Amino acid sequence: MKIAGLAVILPTLILPSFVSAQEMEIPAGMQKGLIKDPVFNNIDAYEVFYPVGWHFQGTLLQGTKCKPVPFPVFRAASRDGLTVMERLPQVDLVYGNNPDIDNAQSDCLKISGPMSAQDYLKHLAQTMHVEYVADEPVPQELVDQANKLNADVQQSFAAKYRAAGMQQPTETVQLARATIRYKNGSFTIDGLLAGTMDCVTGQRHTNPRSPLYTTTTCTVNVRYEHAPEDKYKEMINLLDPKTTGALALSPWMKAWVDNNDRQTAANIQQIQRQGAQNIANIEAQGEQFRQSQAVRQREHDEFDATLQRGTDMSMHRAQVSSNARQTAGSDMVNYALDQQTVRDPNTGQLSKVSSSQSYTWIDSSSGKVYQTNYSSDNPNGSMPGAWTLQTVTHGNGTAQ
């Protein structure tokens, strides 16, 4: 289920594509992690299913003016840290001839025109500095499910638009997949990018005498799975999207819908009083918003740079240099979760630890972690255990 607000004139509110009316039964072989929303008294917002024995971290980031609903970012990793399922930070794109775009959608990534979901994955691979191996077909049942969901939403809101005397915006959905590859030390890592792009196109006048302007906003969510090449097929079977991933929970969804309904009612009254004018989007507040903006800015800067360089040249450069510079989408997930990735120089074991300290020591016997900002602060001899100083890496474990 998705809930679309009165898009373009009013704030667009599209809730996650897949929600659960109640907490689902945990699939066989999986366990469940919860992501809470601090804005609504730490209510459970998402449940995330991932394999038993794996490590999980997740958080919510505030949405943009294109789509104000918070979205989940998470990572679930195998015990050795080499097989990973991640939900990358959401990206909102906007284009059109509306002169208000720079103001009304100021925190969205402005592009020159339409972009397919498959092309987005190609640019994303450039941003991640990985080799784009091939387009992958999307299972037809997932395409059919997404199209039906979109059609149901359009139909469910048609009456509301008619009652408000407004033209209903057009909403489309695209699914795309791609395989990627990169080197992590001696390992060749194969990965799967699975993207969903929801686009809403609406038309409006900025005033009764102005031309009819068109604005399109697209929300892109990407799931990223990667593993050593000899474990790739095993990973694909294990991380079946039918049994793994995030689901939005209905009490949280209702809290956001109710809040949006109140906002929508106020906006309709304002439109009726003043005509079709600029309507302020919901203003996010607090630390969650500032953190989201920081993540978004880094992601936008990287993505925009790939657009400027040109697809063919950038992809070639990324493939040539992939062994030397692997920043990957995992860095963005680390940043969102306030984490860093460290490697044990003796065993190669990867660990996710807090990014608040510069030096990380891990006890080989207990697995306990000791962090410090002082290079001379060695716990060996002062604390029980055999401590090894960890090496800081990129999010996917490759050397910095």
Condensed to tens digits (0 to 9), the pLDDT of residues 77-112 reads 998 888 999 999 889 999 988 887 877 777 888 898
User: What are the C-alpha distances in Å from 81 to residues 87, 96, 109, 323, 337?
Assistant: 16, 42, 32, 19, 16
Question: Other C-beta atoms within 10 Å of 334: how many?
Answer: 21
Q: What DSSP letter does each residue of 29-40 carry, written as one string?
A: TEEEEEEEEGGG
pLDDT tens per residue, range 3-33: 232 222 222 333 344 444 455 688 899 999 9
Higher pLDDT, 396 or 289: 396
pTM for this predicted structure? 0.71
Query: What pLDDT is recorded for position 283?
Result: 37
Highest mean pLDDT among 124-128, 132-136, 263-267: 132-136
Measuring CA to CA, how many Å separate 92 from each of 107, 197, 246, 355, 364? 9, 9, 19, 27, 43
Residue 377 has pLDDT above 80, yes or no: yes
Q: What is the mean pLDDT of the chain?
A: 77
Three-class secondary structure of residue 193 per DSSP: strand
Q: Which of 216-225, 266-275, 331-340 has the lowest mean pLDDT?
A: 266-275
